[in-house]
Structure 1
Amino acid sequence: MLRTNDDFERHVGIPSDLQQDQRDLGESLTAPRRNEKMTSYWKPTKRLIVTYRNEKGKHDAIYASNAVYNELDNENAVAIEADDHAAMYLKLDQNIEQVEEDSIWEAQGYLEEYVDRGDRRLQELIPYGISMIQANQLSIGSSPVTVCIVDTGVDITHPDLDADNADGANRFSQVDGSVMNWYDDSRGHGSHAAGIVAARIENNLGIRGVGEIPLFVTRGLNDDGRAYESDIIQAIEQCKLAGAKVVSLSLGGLAATSRTRSLYSRLDEQGILVFAAAGNEGSPLSIFPAALPEVVSVAAVQEDRSYWNSSNYGPYIELSAPGRRVLSTVPPDRYATYSGTSMATPFAAGAAALVWSHFPSCSHKQIRFAMAYTADKKDSTQGCSERYGHGIVQVKAAYDFLLVHSCTAFEWGFSSGNGTCTTVDESFRAFETNVFLPIAAQTTPQTLRPTSNPTHLPTARPTSASINSSPPTRLRTSNPNHKPTGAPISQVVAFPVSEPNPQALPATTSRPTSNPNTTRTPLVDSSSAVSPPRRPNFSIWAKPLHWKRLIQNSIASEP
């Protein structure tokens, strides 16, 4: 372990000219360190995610830390606690790729009120949200799909939750060795989300959930409903190892590190469908991970299907689901109403798993497309709205859609990019015209091709014919002593220049000036013009020395 900063400097090879700043601090450098690791008591510590390039970088990050919280081997990163001084030296380490702050995320739902279990209304009540998304019109299919709930845990002893249909994974603290059990939930937030997805059906007790859906639970959030990004990354890795195909994240924060973005991109490549809460600020504020393109962002609506004013809105909203005063299970052996986009998220995640259980051959992108395409567009517009996204989730409509449009008969549901209101616009248009777009047509970017038609842009690369047909046009400059020199063909570059329309302007190649006695050098040599194109042309200019400065001077000299 490193007991002084000098030891750390020798370990990672800090330049000698930066060591004096540290030595000037005097005897405080040799003071005892907490956990006998390097830290500086004159500066506060904070959580960091350090991405390393190799094992030496990981070793350096651990030695520079005051404590190690999460080792994220799949992301080549480690979550540590360190001060600004240590962070500065890590950024100078050639074995370290990036040092980012490990930001805090939190639950996106809150308790409204407890409902007495003895109330006669709770005798197998169908909550309004189940009817709204049509979940009561479809039973589980022959190929159940597991939903992973990353939350505060789930009280699996609740009589309205099926312990035989749930599993989970504990998380261990690398700092003090404590254990967060997946089946403990002192806050109730995770148990409420679990009841929305999978509360027992037809058991003459309490409520019913979206369906008899298998659950896998991980402890992403602590008892206060908060966590760091690295905690969520580690919890989601447990979901993936368990084989869950749908992940429900009733949580979020204001920032996302590069490691978080990399994780969700990788999950998308591996066919895992992730749903996340849009946030409860009632503003266009972006909440992560919901704002990431690989994640389905879920907004909240009320019982009358109207937009809930506390739900966030914006172009990244993809779907809507019930989120205001939602009734579900909470510990111990109770029921309560919660509000938030945290409640809307498990409705959407459970709906996806329910539909997917009937169509195991469908990809996660096709399930995602079907849910967006068949959503109830509350505002009666095509495409997306910033408040509802594509609309309110409709289970039966998505099921009927997939009965007609086989996932194996066509390559549909794929688009160039994921997430936001523009995710499936091209696919929407394809379905409207009964044309299924192939994968290549939606993922290959369009490129300009050379053409003889003057109405199209010519290629940007000059040909030998065009170079030899006319002499190169000289650049104008405000320096009268400047003499442009010729340039070899390898230095000739193309710059876009707008041509005048000969039908709208006088037939002249010189630009008008305020002084009639002054003539200007033509921008384009008219002797080489063949036919004025309708779009901007590319003139071939010789590239003299300092051409960027010449262009700037030429523009500055214009009246």
Structure 2
Amino acid sequence: MKQFWRGGLALWLLMMVGAWAQAGQEGIAGKTRYLLQANPGQYQALTRLLQRRGTTPALALPAHEAAAVYLADEDLAALRGQPALRWLEPDVKRYPMSLPQQVPYGIGLVQADAAHLGNNFDSASGNLLLCLIDSGYDQTHEDLPLTTVQGISDPGGAGDWFVDELHHGTHVAGTLAALNNSIGVLGVLPSGQVGLGIVKVFDGDGWAYSSSLIAALDACRQLQAGRSLVVNMSLGGILSSRTEDRAFADAYKAGVLLVAAAGNDGSSRKSYPASYASVISVAALDEAKQIASFSQHNSAVELAAPGVGVLSTVPMGSALLGELTQGGNAYKALPMEGSVLASQMGPLVDCGLGDSPCLAAGQANGLCLIARGSISFADKVLNCQAGGGRGAIIYNNVDGDLNGTLGGVTTQIPSVGIRQADGLSLLTLLGQSAQLTVSQGNYAYYDGTSMATPHVAGVAALVWSRHLACSNAEIRSALAASALDLGEPGRDSYFGYGLVQAQSADDLLLAGCTTTPDTGGATGGKGGKGGGKP
């Protein structure tokens, strides 16, 4: 093997260049971004070699004797036989793991509330740091902590940590720590005492390199300041990185608890960093405890948590909110993406499928009730508008919420989607007046393993804050041993050990930190089908 790395490295590099470039790693001026790992004690020699070739690291990782570098093909040839280089690999991309769907349910599913743990249940959380590696944090949000938050900007050039162009990080933060202040939503740790570390790796483009993720992990550890540390990573990518794997393994050995999203493509393909042995991989389930159709399933999945239609914070004023009321009753209404902001009142009118202007004489200025199907949402809204309708209410043709888009089509009236059952109910009230409003707001429903991940990271932090004498491995073991088993008995590839449970883990640890063995990382499991698989 040593002989291969010394004599065959250049050939191997040249063979891999084409494949890696196809993985989306193209850099500036025809160069490709790679992650270089130095041999032990050879980091300085490697950087001098790069300097002689006129190459400056895009991101230096001296603590890991590694660097991210843009290289041309001729640079790869020059690395042939260099004793300072241990390995070279693509600096693979990492993406947020969220989906724009909306179905609501609460913190109680993971037992992270006073009903399960008693009053002041997270009062000791100030002894712990919960670090978010994500797209930033809206520090002006009405429902998020301010005084206990620290941030680090630009570990990979993403910008200021307190600006969240992608909205993803602020949503994750709300699930973790939204305040118990009578407005908005409630987080897993709602007292405002938990230490939050914000490390921004995503800008508005929505991706980052694995080297940036390694640097972000280092930044979290810099903010740790002697506290127990839980790191939330609602992100991932399909390619692994040995440098990244080693960095996370080192952090886990040093006592850091690492949690990441399992992935959203609904396949058995592994995602990273979630599938490294040092990281807890989190799958997503819905309000009925069924596995989400998008959630990845494989032997690395360790725990499951709510990830379908999670309501949480987004940057102030960035969300669309829908309201539909009739006769004192409120109906859940999800704004069509692209809807105008307006509030309209009028009688309910049955417009069928909405495939033609539907308001007859005397019905103008009504609110159109339209069934889903046949034509696009935008065409339905335009037909309502053409008939003189003031607003369009489109009801689903299957169970569940209706979260639709106008696809960039310009309309002039507010439009929302509602559940099938609510639409059928409103059809019995034709001619009666209703109020429809689409407005800006500060909260939104998101879907994804990104949304499941902070439930697990938050529960881990909550339980650890109540048992600070325990190690990260003991907390991890307790979460696995106390999870609510779903799907096939025991661990499976869909739910892992099951739905994370704060009270059950807390009760288990009352008997002592070492009552359960370590889970052994992200390997193992039966790999069988979960009972909730769609």
Shorter-chain TM-score tier: 0.5 to 0.7
AA matched with 2:237: G
Q: Whole-Å Cα distance in 2 between the matches of residues 311 and 416 of structure 1?
A: 22
Bigger Cα Rg: 1
Partner of 1:106: 95
> Which structure carries more strand by proportion?
2
Taking a change above 3 Å as real, the CA distance of residues 242 and 74 of structure 1, as seen in their structure-2 partners, is same
Please state how far the C-alpha of 1:314 moved relative to its aligned partner: 1.1
Partner of 1:185: 164
1:472-491 mapped onto 2 (5 Å cutoff):
none
AA matched with 2:105: Y
Q: Whole-Å Cα distance in 1 between the matches of residues 69 and 516 of structure 2?
A: 41
Taking a change above 3 Å as real, the CA distance of residues 51 and 354 of structure 1, as seen in their structure-2 partners, is same
Taking a change above 3 Å as real, the CA distance of residues 299 and 111 of structure 1, as seen in their structure-2 partners, is same
2:131–2:196: 8 Å Cα contact kept in structure 1?
A: yes
Do structure 1's residue 156 and structure 2's residue 139 form an aligned pair? yes
Q: Whole-Å Cα distance in 2 between the matches of residues 226 and 337 of structure 1?
A: 21
Partner of 1:282: 266
Do structure 1's residue 142 and structure 2's residue 96 form an aligned pair? no
Q: Whole-Å Cα distance in 2 between the matches of residues 44 and 91 of structure 1?
A: 21
Partner of 1:73: 62
Aligned counterpart for 1:47 among listed residues 23, 33, 37:
33
2:474–2:518: 8 Å Cα contact kept in structure 1?
A: no
Do structure 1's residue 272 and structure 2's residue 256 form an aligned pair? yes
Supply the RMSD in Å over aligned alpha carbons: 2.5
1:25-40 mapped onto 2 (5 Å cutoff):
none
1:108–1:252: 8 Å Cα contact kept in structure 2?
A: yes
Aligned counterpart for 1:320 among listed residues 294, 304, 326:
304
Partner of 1:254: 238
1:111–1:336: 8 Å Cα contact kept in structure 2?
A: no
Q: Whole-Å Cα distance in 1 between the matches of residues 203 and 77 of structure 2?
A: 30
Do structure 1's residue 295 and structure 2's residue 284 form an aligned pair? no
AA matched with 1:345: T
Partner of 2:454: 346
Q: Whole-Å Cα distance in 2 between the matches of residues 67 and 325 of structure 1?
A: 44
Partner of 1:204: 182
Partner of 1:119: none
SS at match of 2:283: strand
Do structure 1's residue 96 and structure 2's residue 79 form an aligned pair? no
Please state how far the C-alpha of 1:59 moved relative to its aligned partner: 1.4
Taking a change above 3 Å as real, the CA distance of residues 255 and 207 of structure 1, as seen in their structure-2 partners, is same
Q: Whole-Å Cα distance in 2 between the matches of residues 129 and 258 of structure 1?
A: 38
**Higher RCO (CA-CA < 8 Å; seq separation 6+):** 2
Query: Which consecutive residues of structure 1, in runs of 5 or more, have no partner in the other structure?
Result: 1-14, 19-39, 116-126, 424-559
Please state how far the C-alpha of 1:74 moved relative to its aligned partner: 1.1
> Could you report, residue by residue, the CA deviation over 1:259-292 in whole angstroms, capped at 9, with x for unpaired residues?
1111011011101000000000100001001111
Aligned counterpart for 2:471 among listed residues 363, 371, 391:
363
> Could you report, residue by residue, the CA deviation over 1:428-459 in whole angstroms, capped at 9, with x for unpaired residues?
xxxxxxxxxxxxxxxxxxxxxxxxxxxxxxxx
Aligned counterpart for 1:386 among listed residues 493, 507, 512:
493
Q: Whole-Å Cα distance in 2 between the matches of residues 298 and 179 of structure 1?
A: 25
SS at match of 1:373: helix
Taking a change above 3 Å as real, the CA distance of residues 335 and 143 of structure 1, as seen in their structure-2 partners, is closer
Partner of 1:228: 209
AA matched with 2:132: I
SS at match of 1:111: coil
AA matched with 1:132: L
Taking a change above 3 Å as real, the CA distance of residues 416 and 348 of structure 1, as seen in their structure-2 partners, is closer
Taking a change above 3 Å as real, the CA distance of residues 91 and 215 of structure 1, as seen in their structure-2 partners, is farther
Query: Which consecutive residues of structure 2, in runs of 5 or more, have no partner in the other structure?
Result: 1-6, 11-26, 318-441, 527-534
Please state how far the C-alpha of 1:57 moved relative to its aligned partner: 1.4
Q: Whole-Å Cα distance in 2 between the matches of residues 103 and 311 of structure 1?
A: 21
Aligned counterpart for 2:512 among listed residues 385, 403, 406:
406
Please state how far the C-alpha of 1:67 moved relative to its aligned partner: 4.6
SS at match of 1:100: strand
1:65–1:86: 8 Å Cα contact kept in structure 2?
A: no
2:101–2:308: 8 Å Cα contact kept in structure 1?
A: no
2:155–2:215: 8 Å Cα contact kept in structure 1?
A: no
Please state how far the C-alpha of 1:380 moved relative to its aligned partner: 5.8
AA matched with 1:160: D
Partner of 1:82: 71
Per the normalisation by structure 2, the TM-score is 0.65
AA matched with 1:150: I
> Could you report, residue by residue, the CA deviation over 1:46-65 in whole angstroms, capped at 9, with x for unpaired residues?
10111223212121124436
Per the normalisation by structure 1, the TM-score is 0.62
SS at match of 1:289: coil
2:199–2:220: 8 Å Cα contact kept in structure 1?
A: yes
2:262–2:271: 8 Å Cα contact kept in structure 1?
A: yes
> Could you report, residue by residue, the CA deviation over 1:302-342 in whole angstroms, capped at 9, with x for unpaired residues?
11111101100011110000001110000124111111000
Partner of 1:482: none
1:198–1:214: 8 Å Cα contact kept in structure 2?
A: no
1:299–1:320: 8 Å Cα contact kept in structure 2?
A: yes
Q: Whole-Å Cα distance in 2 between the matches of residues 415 and 133 of structure 1?
A: 21
